[in-house]
Amino acid sequence: MRIRISLCSMYSYRDPPIPRSRHITPMISLCHEVSERIIDKHALPEDILDSINRVGYADIFNVEKAKVLFGIELSENQYVKIVLIE
């Protein structure tokens, strides 16, 4: 399976163009592509593989999973997005 790996950072969206409750602070994510890889589907954990098969992508928020699976160290408010290419 061929996947695209992106590193995403979440930021607070301070002044949205629509009225909102003062208790809700929406976040936006900015992603940049890290690499494309061909990976054996059996190398991925079942929950990630299930998400990729259902919707075509998976978001990994777990710091340890991101490091072990892809060698990416996550900072605060970061996550890895895995997108199925083919």
Q: Is the pLDDT of residue 78 over 90?
A: yes
Query: Left, alpha or beta for 56 (phi > 0: left; psi -120 to 50: alpha)?
Result: left
CB 62 within 8 A of CB 28: no
Residue 14 and residue 75: Cα distance in Å, rounded?
A: 21
pTM of the model: 0.79
Residue 33: predicted pLDDT: 94
- 9/11: higher pLDDT: 9
How far apart are the C-alpha atoms of 59 and 73, rounded to whole Å?
14
Q: What is the pLDDT of residue 56?
A: 92
Q: Assess whether pLDDT exceeds 80 at residue 71.
A: yes
Backbone angles phi, psi at 49, to 5 degrees: -60, -40
What are 12-64's pLDDT values in tens digits? 766 555 566 666 667 788 899 999 999 888 888 999 999 999 999 999 999 99
